[in-house]
Chains A and B, each alone.
Chain A
Amino acid sequence: DAGVTQSPTHLIKTRGQHVTLRCSPISGHKSVSWYQQVLGQGPQFIFQYYEKEERGRGNFPDRFSARQFPNYSSELNVNALLLGDSALYLCASSLEFSAGDTQYFGPGTRLTVL
């Protein structure tokens, strides 16, 4: 079975632009989470979606938004990009929504903001 897939692999944007990142979870998984990983740091939680509803949100500004579709895939949107948004954006899928559910990560999208 395919793992978590993300697109695009790499992306270069300029300050002020917006970006949309996409994620497809493992087949059968209903929950998708998004994380931001700045170089040299651990991933930081942005959002968790389950059954198309936002179930959790980390400490990120309103420029960050996401949604989950009926097929459980998800999009992360970032508006008014700042240089500090340059990072690896990771998507993780889990079977259900609970603290103990194993999260499986995709390869990430490397976003560079110039």
Chain B
Amino acid sequence: GENVEQHPSTLSVQEGDSAVIKCTYSDSASNYFPWYKQELGKGPQLIIDIRSNVGEKKDQRIAVTLNKTAKHFSLHITETQPEDSAVYFCAATASGGGADGLTFGKGTHLIIQP
């Protein structure tokens, strides 16, 4: 099955700086890569996703890049703000379509220092 590795586990940045979180996946058949933000006591909230026919996608301060050859994808947050503090998870589909669900990384705790 699919295996997703996520780094770093904790990331502390100064407010206004950029943050980058990286993930690698194992199954070359995976073709959908969402990123979720989870705040304390809440369920994961989708912030951006990318499909394998696209190399980069942006939504205001958030961008995701995908390198299918290297099997890795990254989340970039620019001009970080205090409300960006949360745990971020990357995920990938396993092969076989939706029947295998999403495989998640272990998460990155992003801390925005004022």
Return the CB mask of A79-102 against B: 1 if under 8 Å, else 0: 000000000001000100111111
Write out the residue numbers on chain B whose beta carbons fall within 8 Å of the beta carbon of A99: 31-32, 93, 96-98
B101 touches A102 (CB 8 A): no
User: Of B6, B98, B101, which is within 8 A of A58 by CB?
Assistant: B101
Is B102 part of the binding interface, using a Cβ–Cβ cutoff of 8 Å? yes
A103 touches B102 (CB 8 A): yes
In the complex, what's the smallest C-beta–C-beta distance from A105 to chain B, in angstroms? 4
- Whether a CB of chain B sits under 8 angstroms from the CB of A25 is no
> Do B107 and A103 touch across chains, with their CB atoms under 8 A apart?
no
Q: Report if B114 contacts A (CB, 8 A).
A: no
Within 8 Å of chain A (Cβ to Cβ): is B73? Answer: no
Set of chain A residues within 8 Å of B49, measured between Cβ atoms: 102
Closest partner residue, chain A, to B52 (CB atom): A100
- The stretch of B13-21, B39-47, B61-69, B77-85 that contacts the partner chain: B39-47
A residues apposed to B, CB below 8 Å: 4, 31, 33, 35, 40-46, 48, 50, 55-56, 58, 90, 94, 97-108
